[in-house]
Amino acid sequence: MRNRKPPPRRWICLSVLMPETITCSGLITLAGRPNVGKSTLLNRLIGQKISVTSSRAQTTRHRLLGIKTTGQAQIIYVDTPGLHAHNKGLFNRHLNRVAGSSLFGVDCIVLLITSKGWTEADEYPLRLVSKTGVPVILVINKIDQLKDRRLLLPLIAQSNQKMAFKEIVPVSARTGENTHDLENIILKYLPEQPPLYPVDRISDRGERFLAAELVREQIFRGFQQEVPYATAVSIDRFERIRQTLHIQATIWVERDGQKPILIGKDGKRLKTVGSRARQAMEKLFDNKVHLRLWVKVREGWSDNERALRSLGYLDET
């Protein structure tokens, strides 16, 4: 019998085997007005989708940590709801408190605007971050939408007049352009300390939370007007049986009239939400998923403290 060649050596990230090699770690908050691309940037920096996204404002409702561990550093990104000056209703006040509290006790803030320039809505987050005393990096996102990149020069000059930012970095979170440069800049603001989380973690959230978010994401992507904002999702069952995840979830709406809109004729719209959410879950969890959805009415849940708490809100600040 001939001697077989030894298998090729596979290099494994040192942080997996030797977390003591990590010399610095820290918290970096991603902040900005709604729909500026914070969650898309988080997913890009982590290299995996852990935060839901859509083209609609206020898709993000929770504070979510995305953890990026390399051989020498651990960066804990804090994704937040969009900061906005409107405080109408208990739920909106909660979102602002979650986002605002995430600006403190961190090592650096990444403030996002878009390549379209400063808007009135950007001024509120700017005022908040300028009062924290935390180093602030300005990210000009969505540069892939610029037809003329020379327009960035006057925007950078205008931004320098707004605040003494530590750095100004144009990026495209969608395509990944310049995000590697942004990460290298962020590394400079991490304090020297051991990793704050186990090196194999990519988020502080569990699978039940992520499953609920993936259902809600498809509602935000598939419906217009008020329906997405009137919905919340709770997970009633999350169980692995053999090689399959069995998940049952309830979608809560605020009024009776919203329920048939969400279900659709012969249940077609709800089936579409379920099919797309199931596919996203299978990709994220690397498991076959059996998903069942129900739609129920909970009158005025978004302005009811008890209801908000039971749905996982109010305890994040």
Sequence ranges of the domains in the chain: 14-187, 207-310
Per-residue pLDDT of the chain (317 residues; tens, 9 = 90+): 334 443 333 323 333 435 668 889 999 999 999 999 999 999 999 999 999 888 877 788 888 999 999 988 999 999 988 888 776 778 788 888 888 889 999 999 999 999 999 999 999 999 999 999 999 999 999 999 999 999 999 999 999 999 999 999 999 999 999 999 999 999 999 999 999 999 999 999 999 999 999 999 999 999 877 788 889 999 999 999 989 999 999 999 999 999 999 999 999 999 999 999 999 999 999 999 999 999 999 998 988 889 888 888 866 65
Q: Which CATH number fits domain 207-310: 2.60.40.10, 3.30.300.20, 3.40.50.2000, 2.60.120.10?
A: 3.30.300.20
| HSE toward the beta carbon, residue 122, CA cutoff 13 A | 18
The whole-number pLDDT of residue 6 equals 37
Rounded CA Rg of the chain: 21
Contacts of 140 (CB under 8 A, 6+ apart): 113, 114, 115, 152, 155, 156, 159, 168, 169, 170, 171
Alpha-carbon torsion, ordered 111, 114, 120, 125, to 10 deg: -10
Q: What are the φ/ψ torsions at residue 5 (nearest 5 degrees)?
A: -70, 140
- Residue 161: what residue type? Q
How far apart CA 151 and CA 144 sit, in angstroms, is 12
Q: Does CATH number 3.40.50.10800 belong to domain 14-187?
A: no
The whole-number pLDDT of residue 32 equals 95
3-state secondary structure at position 239: strand
The whole-number pLDDT of residue 14 equals 36
Q: What is the pTM of this model?
A: 0.85
The whole-number pLDDT of residue 18 equals 55
3-state secondary structure at position 110: strand
- Residue 95: what residue type? L
* 244-253 and 232-241 beta bridge pairing: antiparallel
How far apart CA 78 and CA 57 sit, in angstroms, is 18
